[in-house]
Amino acid sequence: MDVVFTPISDPPAASVDDRWLPCRAGQVLLVDDFAEGPRPLTSEEANQVRDHMAEPLVLGQLRGEQGHWWTALMADDFDPFDAPFPGLMFSDLRSMMAKLDPVVWNIAGRATQVTDWYRDNRYCGRCGGPMEMAGGDRSMKCPVDGFAAYPRLSPAVIVLVLDDEGRALLARNVAWPVPMYSTLAGFVEPGESLEDCIHREIGEEVGIQVKDLQYFASQPWPFPNSLMLGYFAHYAGGELTPAPDEIADAQWFSRDDLPQIPPRGSIARQLIDEWLRS
């Protein structure tokens, strides 16, 4: 995806080619189009519900397109069924992963994170005074004490471990309602390198050691504010011992004996598919 993000200090003028993904509480406002399926709002449609939006926030512009992508925080009392045109609906990103174009889904993830940031930083965390949108970067700043709040981003590693027999280590999280197995993952701690995080997380979750770390790819993951950094690793020793508070089960799987795995679109699935192609 090739996205050019427009600087906050120079917001573009409104255009009939603009598209909108307003949000509220982590959900995206879409139009359930009978012909196209779920889609973003057009500029004309967004104008019809503009009175229910907080300050418009520009997200960026896809290279080669005329219009820009926008979002805005929708009012708590806005009811899409009372809108002046039919088909409006709030939807969560997980259910839209397989229904939206991957580029639109990615931009929708950015929209939820930007609107959450705006909602949570309208008042200063130090003095309690009102914050103002800053020029020059995407931040909210306090005019009294200078405190600045940027959109939160939480880096996390996600790792597919392979053994000497070419099998992949997949695990089930205790919180998952479906019997799906996936790669191991965890958030990076303050002061920790990505490599240190991989060794720590795998040791904590399944009790083994790994070696030969190889970076694969990254993916923005808006649940809620993650940047997933994908790696391959090789088993280096230790006995497979799942942490009971996190991992319901962990096993080595061969290519021809896979359990239910994550859906396409996730970096966990990308790692697994790359292993299957190798």
The per-residue pLDDT for range 24-44, each reduced to its tens digit, is 999 999 999 888 889 999 999
Q: Is residue 162 part of a domain?
A: yes
Q: Is residue 25 part of a domain?
A: yes
- 49 with 102, same domain: the answer is yes
Q: Is residue 139 part of a domain?
A: no
Query: pTM for the complete prediction?
Result: 0.87
- 269 with 190, same domain: the answer is yes
CATH number of the domain within which 91 lies: 3.90.79
- 19 with 113, same domain: the answer is yes
Question: What type of residue is 143?
Answer: P
- 9 with 94, same domain: the answer is yes
| Total domains in the fold of the chain | 2
Task: Answer whether 117's CB lies under 8 Å from 147's CB.
Answer: no
- Tell me which residue of 220, 222, 12, 38 sits closest to 115, measured CA to CA: 222
How many angstroms from the chain centroid is the CA of residue 107? 9
- 160 with 54, same domain: the answer is no
Total residue count of the chain as it appears in this document: 278
Please state, in angstroms and as integers, the Cα–Cα distance from residue 164 to each residue in 161, 169, 237, following that order. 10, 12, 11
Distance, in Å, from the CA atom of 242 to the CA atom of 146, rounded to the nearest integer, reads 46
Task: Answer whether 87's CB lies under 8 Å from 31's CB.
Answer: yes
Q: Is residue 125 part of a domain?
A: no
- 164 with 262, same domain: the answer is yes
* Boundaries of domain holding 253: 154-277
CATH number of the domain within which 251 lies: 3.90.79.10
Q: Is residue 127 part of a domain?
A: no
Q: Is residue 129 part of a domain?
A: no
The per-residue pLDDT for range 188-222, each reduced to its tens digit, is 999 999 999 999 999 999 999 999 999 999 999 99
The per-residue pLDDT for range 115-158, each reduced to its tens digit, is 999 999 999 999 999 999 887 788 999 999 999 999 999 999 99
- 213 with 109, same domain: the answer is no
Q: Is residue 128 part of a domain?
A: no
- 158 with 273, same domain: the answer is yes
Mean pLDDT of the chain, nearest integer? 93
- 170 with 259, same domain: the answer is yes
Q: Is residue 146 part of a domain?
A: no
| pLDDT range class, residue 265, cuts 50, 70, 90 | confident
